[in-house]
A = this chain, B = another copy of it.
Amino acid sequence: MTIKEIAQLAGVSSAAVSRYLNGGYISEEKKEKIRKVIEETGYQPSAQARMLRTKRACLVGVVVPKINSESVSRVTAGIEQVLSRRGYQMLLASTDNEPEKEITYLRLFENYPVDGIVLIGTVITAEHRRFLKESKVPVVVVGQYTKYANCIYHDDYGAGKAMGKTVAELMMRTNGKRGTEETSGKVAYIGVTREDKAVGVSREEGFRAGLKASGVELSEAYTRKAEFTMDSGYHAALDLLDEHPDIQIISCATDTIAAGAIEALLAYSREQVPEAASASGTRMMYILNRSDIRVTGFGDNQFLKAVTGGIPTVHFGYKTSGIRGAELLLDVIERGEKIPVEMKLGFRMVNENEME
């Protein structure tokens, strides 16, 4: 079905049909004829051809690192919220944490009918920068700082620092000492690649600074790097536990990694007290953490909170960043806003006094 065929069937010109479709001048009489033909045929105009002409799609593409993530879904929920309110639709492309795929999908969107792109950033490579500089369609980056595009990011350093302080206090409360050898070296950290500036660098540096401010040092032997997966967190934590029996706290760069760490502690407990657990009579009792080890995270994952009761973590305004990001994008799409924007969003500690 093409607009031309509809025009023939209705005995009008294709232009008339086009006007009918787009609200141009047209007589009631022809309007009715066209309406009927369209109804009968079930004709649907090709969005594709329209876009080739108009250069407007009322569509934005969002490139995300992965699909199954609470933080990502909160951001996209925010984006979707403002988009739909303003008559836009949203398409997603998931890169499965492969930066090269990110470029591929950015280019795909660039040459596809989308009016703008939101990149939920992880690693910003030279290729990324080149793209941001040269892109034909407006882009806003969410979750990472960059000077090559409008961006909205979170105060990862501040959040890390706050968490560092919280952890240090926890240690002190437990040990009743301050910065002595007895306490130092007993907090472990599972981070991520430093290529991720927000999570891998700022968050970790902040964490270190927060600890230090309270007189606690994070020793290198007590740190590990993990991927952004539970499984990776599990292995990192296991490794940590094997090598350092004196660990009291395992702080993780994300709640997902923290979930893996909790899994590791669970496995550890089982190993250590298989008899006690199964002989206890109340089979349904799980010991989530080795009694002297606690886990912290970042991201305020609701799932984790539900099933564990909540570990100390940080709430970022993910949904807000999505909202603001979409607004920024629409500003440049619709109003040609040219002034670059960098926006930093705050955070909120969660469960810092958990189990106090």
A285 and B287 form a contact (CB under 8 A): yes
Question: Quick check: is A155 within 8 A (CB to CB) of the other chain?
Answer: no
Tell me if A193 counts as interface (CB < 8 A to partner B): no
List the number of copies, as a whole number: 2
- A61 and B89 CA atoms in complex are apart in Å by 14
Interface 0/1 of A84-113, CB less than 8 Å to B:
000001111110100000001101101111
Asked whether, in the complex, the Cβ of A111 is within 8 Å of the Cβ of B45, the reply is yes
Most chain B CB within 10 A, of A70, A282, A284, is at A284
Contact in complex: A42, B134 (CB < 8 Å): yes
How far in angstroms is the closest Cβ of chain B from A109?
A: 9
Cβ of A25 under 8 Å from chain B = no
Of all A-B residue pairs in the complex, the 9 with the closest CB atoms, nearest first, are A68-B73, A263-B306, A282-B291, A47-B111, A92-B92, A284-B289, A283-B355, A286-B288, A67-B73
Q: Which residues of A contact B (CB under 8 A)?
A: 42, 44-49, 51-52, 59, 61, 66-70, 72-73, 76-77, 80, 89-94, 96, 104-105, 107-108, 110-113, 134, 230-231, 234, 256, 259-260, 262-263, 266, 270, 278, 282-294, 302-309, 355
| 16 interchain pairs, CB-CB under 8 A | A44-B107, A44-B110, A44-B111, A48-B48, A59-B108, A67-B92, A68-B69, A77-B96, A89-B105, A92-B94, A259-B307, A263-B306, A266-B306, A282-B291, A284-B290, A307-B308
Q: A46-B111, A67-B92, A77-B96 are in contact. List 13 more A-B contacts (CB 8 A).
A: A48-B51, A48-B111, A68-B69, A91-B92, A91-B93, A112-B113, A259-B303, A262-B306, A262-B307, A266-B307, A286-B287, A286-B309, A288-B307
